[in-house]
Amino acid sequence: MRVTAANRNDITQLLPLLQQVSPVGGRRGRPRRRPKQLVADRGYDSAAHRQALRTLGIRPMIAKRRVEHGSGLGRWRWVVERSIAWLHQYRRLAVRWEYRADIHHGFLMLACCLICWRCLQRAAA
């Protein structure tokens, strides 16, 4: 997660967000620093960002602009939309009341922890 001002364009935060990803362990060998692929909507479609992702070793799966809907990426995009809906269940995150970004980020992390905890409880039951 990355907290920015509301007037910032999402595409400007793509590469800094990918550099913020921490290593993911669990398998034998060196942990991955970056995802294998990136699924995004039409707002992220640009040749420069596609090339930057390929340079980082990430396969871009980005819907093309000015193409009819039905790219098939909805199978993966619903996970993001569902997660945002889960975060908006917390009233404090639905509307940002905090002026300081660090406080808002703290509430965002707390909400993510609670969501993960609930998922783990459901899986254990």
- pTM to 2 decimals? 0.69
Please classify residue 40 by burial: count the beta carbons closer than 10 Å to its beta carbon, then call 0-12 exposed, 13-18 middle and 19+ buried: buried
Contacts 24+ apart (CB under 8 A), 83-91: 83/115, 86/115, 87/111, 87/112, 87/115, 90/114
Domain assignments of the chain as residue spans, ordered by start: 1-73, 88-125
Per-residue pLDDT tens digits for 43-96: 888 899 999 999 988 899 888 877 776 666 666 777 878 888 999 999 888 888
